Amino acid sequence: MKLFLSHRIDSFGFLDSYYFGVFEDGSSKEFTIEEILNYEFEIITYELSSLLDQLRIVYSGKLPILTDISQILKLNAGRSKKSYPKNNLPWFFWNRIKHDLGEELTLEKFKIIRSSEDRTEIFVILKTLAEILISTYKISIDKLTESNQFARFYQLENLTQQILNKRQIEGITIDSELLEILLNKLKVNKDSLIHKLRYKHKITDLNYKALRIFLIEKGFDITSKDYSYFNLLSFLKAAKISSALCNDIYITLRAKADYESLCQYIPEEDEIIYPCFDCIGTVTSRILITTPHIQQLKRENRIIFKAKKDFTLLYCDYKQFEPGILASSSKDSEMISLYNSEDIYENFSEYIFGTKTLRKEAKVIFLSYLYGMSDKRLVSVIDGVIKSKGLTTEISAAAFFDKFKDLEIFKQEEFKNMVENGYIQTETSLRRNVKKTEEGKGKKSETRFVLSQIIQGTASYILKKAILDVMKDDEIEFLVPMHDAVLFQVPTSKEKEKRDFIEKCFVENYKIICPDINAKVDFKPFHE
């Protein structure tokens, strides 16, 4: 029987936390944390991360099925958080409460369950919250069914969530001595790079808005969509290929971010950190680690992670994942053949630069082109690389992609579907809603999201299915999800056996969705 659980949050030490549940038959009950831990059926709740921190106190190796209402609301919203004003995210449960109770009353109730000493008063409010949770869940499930995403949620997302819950409870082992060495090294490097920006480029303010204005004044073509910090980083990542200024800013921001991120890694106990996960962290359903920011760490700084005693780390990474999915989805025989026969990024590098040695630069341009980089910026980036490397080639990126006739047909068909339907939906049922015209059709300006949503939405599905299959082996432990890869730890005595099993799960799930692709994975050190 489903249990809709409301609970006190932000209660330091959790010695006086309170839990109240309403069952789907309408009956209700006060709970202890031990009773929650041992509940045999599904628990639907909010503030899941806070609840997991409380469950860690009594954890003994097994968790109940915990469903996070915000993950359901995210699927239903089908939009990026950038689409909404700050603190007005529709998947934030307290916004739902504000809708039902009004902002003033909601803030009053929130204050009471955080700090009140009146037990009776707390439980009255928790009952109200549980009832709103039931209503929200029922409405949300209906919407999931209407958008054909119900099966995806319960057969993929929620099963993945249970794996993430276990890892948040058990934590990840790090080398604290190595962490201290790295922090000292990164601080020196960060300060040196900031000093260089100040005296070489006269940059004194690293706020991303100030940097954006500075770059515009220097003549760089930055549009309004580059306004956020992460969009600025994306711009710099592409522009740094041909601009020393952008390269200096980019590496400084990354060094600063790495240092600030690693400061969050001070172990709570026994060299263990406890990451917080967001299962549907993006509109493409990528898993995000919200704290600490493991996924943003530069590779060399990941060396602080280590396996627990008698275990070995295995890092499994899909090779050329996104172009493979694109080739298969578009059914472009030319692109499929190219993908299966050689390194597609090296081929692209040789085509536009006349050499295979610029694979890294070619990969950035290749993906930027697919995901909607303007022709003007694309030409600028390529010309910058040609000039900086002393090359003389005159071949254009557009000419390279002109070879893929079926890809262009596929793109135009998906653009048309987006406009007609008002949303983008992958073959694996993930939906992204787009801005609409007065006639209810999708705006053509939103076509820039189509390929990205299809490719990355499919990639997240394949990766999660692979994770679920790997975790059927009780001896393998999931640790960290990256963009197209996962870090596991396996018994050292069975490393070869487990490595083969992981590879089998990854390749088979790729082939199920992309049967024409010669799917491959790499195993390499997590920090390389």
Residue 343 tokens read as 């390194």
Which of residues 459 and 12 earns the better pLDDT score? 459
Report how far residue 190's alpha carbon sits from residue 155's, in angstroms, rounded to the nearest whole number. Answer: 44
Could you please report the per-residue DSSP string of 257-310?
HHHHHHGGG--SBTTEE--EEETT-STT---EEEES-GGGS-GGGGGGB-PPTT
Which has the minimum average pLDDT: 121-135, 307-321, 394-408, 480-494? 394-408
Q: What angle do CA 116, 118, 122 make, to 5 degrees?
A: 75
Q: How confident is the model over 122-160, as pLDDT tens digits?
A: 899 999 999 999 999 999 999 999 999 999 999 999 999
Q: How confident is the model over 316-369, as pLDDT tens digits?
A: 999 999 999 999 999 999 999 988 988 888 888 888 888 888 888 888 888 877
Nearest CA to 149 among 75, 66, 42, 70? 75
**Residue 83 pLDDT more than 90?**
no
Residue 226 tokens read as 């580059």
For residue 188, count CB atoms less than 10 angstroms from its CB and return exposed for 0-12, middle for 13-18, buried for 19 or more: exposed
Collapsing DSSP to helix, strand or coil, 22 comes out as strand
Q: Are 51 and 7 in contact (CB under 8 A)?
A: yes
Q: What is the pLDDT of residue 107?
A: 84
* Length in residues, the chain: 528
Annotated domain spans of the chain: 3-146, 175-266, 324-452
Q: What is the pLDDT of residue 94?
A: 86
Report how far residue 501's alpha carbon sits from residue 523's, in angstroms, rounded to the nearest whole number. Answer: 12
Residue 502 tokens read as 């992981």
Q: What angle do CA 48, 167, 9 make, to 5 degrees?
A: 25
Q: What is the pLDDT of residue 14?
A: 46
Residue 183 tokens read as 């922090």
Q: Average pLDDT, stretch 496-518?
A: 97
CATH number of the structural domain 324-452: 1.10.150
Kindly report the pTM of this predicted structure: 0.90
Residue 16: CA count within 13 A, CB half-sphere: 11
Residue 468 tokens read as 């679920």
Collapsing DSSP to helix, strand or coil, 152 comes out as helix
For residue 276, count CB atoms less than 10 angstroms from its CB and return exposed for 0-12, middle for 13-18, buried for 19 or more: middle
Residue 13 — very low, low, confident or very high, per pLDDT cuts 50/70/90?
A: very low
Report how far residue 294's alpha carbon sits from residue 93's, in angstroms, rounded to the nearest whole number. Answer: 26
